[in-house]
Structure 1
Amino acid sequence: MAATTDAQSKWEFSCELEVNLGSQEHAQIIYTALSVDKELQPDKVKRVMSASDGKLLVHFEATEARFLRASFSAFVDVLTLATKTIEEFGPVIEV
């Protein structure tokens, strides 16, 4: 029982990111592209993603605030690149 408590308290820092991408197709493209990139230090940072209702949902957990910040920042950088790529070359979604 103590091992479970220790494992749960390890992930002290967390944050949520929700990005409205305008369509489920765009959300799924971004999800598929970014889900292949795993965390470099999985013992210090966890990231869980999903795509639903045209939104990309991302949950981060980390052992320290600095690992959370670094992971979040790196993720936003690749998310920005993927979003700009879809805007430039991706399928046009009529609203």
Structure 2
Amino acid sequence: MSIFDQLSGGPSRAEEPHPSARICSRKGCRSSAAWQLLWNNPRIHTPERRKIWLACAEHRAWLEDYLKLRGLWRQTVACPDLADGAGTEGNN
């Protein structure tokens, strides 16, 4: 167990058995994600850059509100079916 595991109260997502699984980005949530929240920070990212957070149905509104309050939210789209694990950068 790393120090980060101890601080967060559990194992890191990198140590999970299926790291390509789409998991909600809300801290402590391990539910499957159904939504991609696209965002960027205009102070440090170019306008076309999009970072992705993943959200389950329960936490979609909370995560959108968090990003909107800070002026970072750009768009929310449904997660595509990704058999190969591509596009699972939700926790960046």
TM-score of the aligned structures, taking structure 1 as reference length: 0.34
TM-score of the aligned structures, taking structure 2 as reference length: 0.35
Greater share of strand? 1
Greater share of helix? 1
Greater Rg over alpha carbons, structure: 1
